[in-house]
Amino acid sequence: MRKLIFAVILFFVLIFTLPIFLLKPNKIAINSGDDYEKYITAGSSSFTIKVYDAQLRRAIDLDLEEYVLGVLAGEMPASFHLEALKAQCVAARTYTVKRLKALGGKGCLNHPEADVCTESTHCQAYRDPKLLSTENLQKLSYAIENTKGEVIVYQDSLIDAVFHSTSGGRTENSEDVWQAKLPYLRGVVSDFERHSPKLTSTIQIKISEFASNIKKLDSSLKLDTKKLSGEMKILERSSGGRIISMKIGNKTFKGERVRTALGLNSANFSYAIKGDSIVFNVSGNGHGIGLSQYGADGMAQQGHQYKDILTHYYSDVEIINVYDFYGDSNK
């Protein structure tokens, strides 16, 4: 009889206490104070990622959602529309999860001990959320909470959710800028970027400086700077307007390499030789592939929801919850 009573008691104890241990509390925002610690994360996700912190010069462990919050703070102005911030959250989370070594990702190529790093030129920009104002921290935390765990997949595989600042009117097919042709990275019209401060830009470079920078791309370059107008020719442009290939002197270069060498905002440029200088007129900012951040903000201002924004810039994709997709990585 005692065994029966003990079994009944144990049954009811388990029924009422087990859910407490199974619940994973969400990140919640406290509505007062400016201390980051007031934004509580208690088991906010089942993913711990290893991040190489460029300032600390070492790898640290961060919760996935906490890391994405820092990426959101580093990659997109907090003044952007909430739906644009949500779209950036999902793109950044997808970019990150795809690189997790625990899930078969390649990790950070520049820092093999880490999954990702805080170097914007290599992985994603990152800003310590503790540096944000209370108002901005609340807004960004809300975007994180309301997209928690969401990632983008194409045919049940995580996509490479790349993004850029401003396309200049149309995004690019991946193969026109990089080598790989990816079915979800197709060029699309981006009509909502007119408020971008880098929609267009002009830069003037001395011919001597131009020649010096291009020669760094190929030391065997032969270039007659006195007859420069006949020494330069655009060979091919993408459907989005970016230069795919360009002849300079006796060499042919990819537009992206020329853009990087000269410090231009994008490879969508025209040029005019004026005296001892070259004037470059540039459209857009960044590589132009995937999500346009200013385009996302413009779409959001026109009433589009974040999922509509994502499915516009990434072709034929679905948005799912990563925790449903992979299960608990800690098991």
**Residues 76, 151 within the same domain:** yes
**Residues 74, 160 within the same domain:** yes
Report H helices in 168-232: 174-177, 207-215
Q: Chain centroid to CA 45: how far?
A: 21
Ranges assigned E (strand) in 238-323: 243-248, 251-254, 269-274, 277-283, 291-292, 318-321
**Residues 266, 214 within the same domain:** yes
**Residues 319, 219 within the same domain:** no
Model confidence pLDDT, tens digit, residues 111-120: 999 999 998 8
274 token code pair: 């004026």
Q: Chain centroid to CA 330: how far?
A: 26
- Tell me the torsion sign for CA atoms 167, 169, 171, 173: negative
Distance of alpha carbon 161 from alpha carbon 89, whole angstroms? 11
**Residues 151, 297 within the same domain:** yes
Which helix H or strand E contains 139, and what residues bound it? helix 134-145
Tell the burial category of 258 from Cβ atoms under 10 Å away from its Cβ (0-12, 13-18, 19+).
buried
Residue 113 domain flag: yes
Residue 251 domain flag: yes
Contact between residue 110 and residue 117 where contact means Cβ atoms under 8 Å apart: yes
**Residues 159, 297 within the same domain:** yes
Domain enclosing residue 114, as ranges = 36-165+290-326
Distance of alpha carbon 268 from alpha carbon 236, whole angstroms? 11
From first to last of its 331 residues, what are the pLDDT tens digits of the chain? 544 454 444 444 344 433 333 333 333 232 333 333 433 343 356 688 999 998 899 999 999 999 999 999 999 999 999 999 999 999 999 999 999 998 899 999 999 999 999 988 889 999 999 999 999 999 999 999 999 999 999 999 999 999 999 999 999 999 999 989 999 999 999 999 999 999 999 999 999 999 999 999 999 999 999 999 999 999 999 999 999 999 999 999 999 999 999 999 999 999 999 999 999 999 999 999 999 999 999 999 999 999 999 999 999 999 999 888 665 544 3
**Residues 253, 303 within the same domain:** no
**Residues 101, 207 within the same domain:** no
Distance of alpha carbon 314 from alpha carbon 308, whole angstroms? 10
**Residues 129, 225 within the same domain:** no
Helix (H, G, I), strand (E, B) or coil at 109: coil
Q: How many domains does the chain have?
A: 2
Distance of alpha carbon 260 from alpha carbon 250, whole angstroms? 20
Residue 250 domain flag: yes
**Residues 222, 306 within the same domain:** no
Residue 10 domain flag: no
Residue 193 domain flag: no
**Residues 51, 69 within the same domain:** yes
**Residues 87, 157 within the same domain:** yes
